[in-house]
Amino acid sequence: MGKKSCPVCSRPVNCDNPQKGDTSWETVYCSHYCRLFDERGLTKVPFKGGNKHHNNKLCWPVIKIPCDMCDEKEATLKHDIERGNTKYCSRKCWGKLKASQKRHIHRTINALHYLEHSYNYVGNRWLEPSAIAEMCSVQGTSCGRSSIGLLMKRWREAGIVEARVRSGSSNGFEYRFRPEGLRGMRVSQFVHHWNTMSYAERMAFVKEGEANKIAISQTS
């Protein structure tokens, strides 16, 4: 059976064997660029630059999205194998995020972005640790179910992941994204914020979040 083709540009969808720049959880389009191109109803635009060989030719437009790490600049998506899924405006922003966590930052970000993607585009289904571990491993950050369990515990405490006991299990959990826990931040911003808080600051942050949940439940 051949590879699925992107409905926008016909490039292969490399979710089973992602190359540099691909994401394993994008199973419909070849990139986030093509997903946004389709969702926003964009069209190709004329070449710029005045080169006579480009007269009457069209190219893929640049797409701007908020940087996942800062509020100062936008990230630039291009119809390019390595730049169709970027989330950061610069290496500086990615470096700042990496510096906030000594170990396994790639695993953390891949797992959380996968849960976020599932929430946004796949109906926010509950995901078992094995499914999350497999997706991270395909993406290049090898890990097992137990590692995912520990990772999810950390972000459950932070408030951006929720869990429930799996059907037929006495102590096994499954997880899904909880976007309201971000409190207006994006995933990378939140991870950096949580990683750089003191223990006392985290406890106050969690307490405030629990109070907000109670207030929302009382008004709904």
CATH number at residue 213: 1.10.10.10
E strand intervals along the chain: 45-46, 58-59, 63-66, 74-77, 161-165, 173-177
Residue 186 lies in domain:
100-219
- 101 vs 1, more confident: 101
Residue 95 lies in a domain: no
- 80 vs 186, more confident: 186
Do 117 and 74 share a domain, yes or no? no
Do 68 and 121 share a domain, yes or no? no
Do 35 and 76 share a domain, yes or no? yes
Do 77 and 119 share a domain, yes or no? no
- 198 vs 211, more confident: 198
Residue 43 lies in a domain: yes
- 102 vs 161, more confident: 161
Residue 94 lies in a domain: no
Domain final position from 60, 89, 118: 89
| Beta bridge pairs of residue 75 | 65
What average pLDDT does the segment 128-153 reach?
A: 91
Residue 3 lies in a domain: yes
The overall average pLDDT reported for the chain is 90
What is the end-to-end Cα distance of the chain in Å, rounded?
49
Do 178 and 117 share a domain, yes or no? yes
Count of all residues that appear for the chain in the document = 220
- 131 vs 3, more confident: 131
Assess whether pLDDT exceeds 80 at residue 151: yes
CA distance 60 to 53: 17
pLDDT computed for residue 162 by the predictor: 96
Q: Cα 183–112–192 angle (5° rounding)?
A: 55
- Total structural domains in the chain? 2
Do 79 and 108 share a domain, yes or no? no
- Model confidence at 152, in pLDDT bands (50, 70, 90)? very high
Residue 193 lies in a domain: yes
Do 148 and 204 share a domain, yes or no? yes
- Model confidence at 1, in pLDDT bands (50, 70, 90)? very low
Closest to 107 (Cα-Cα) out of 99, 118, 98:
98
Residue type, 19: Q
Assess whether pLDDT exceeds 60 at residue 127: yes
Residue 210 lies in a domain: yes
Do 126 and 187 share a domain, yes or no? yes
pLDDT computed for residue 210 by the predictor: 79
Do 106 and 81 share a domain, yes or no? no
pLDDT computed for residue 28 by the predictor: 94
Q: Cα 89–104–33 angle (5° rounding)?
A: 35
Residue type, 9: C
Instruction: Give me the percent of the chain exceeding a pLDDT of 90.
Output: 70
Do 210 and 104 share a domain, yes or no? yes
pLDDT computed for residue 68 by the predictor: 97
Residue 132 lies in a domain: yes
Residue 69 lies in a domain: yes
CA 62 to chain CA mean position, Å: 20
Do 208 and 135 share a domain, yes or no? yes
| CB-CB contact of 25 with 16 (8 Å) | no
pTM for this prediction: 0.88
Do 63 and 119 share a domain, yes or no? no
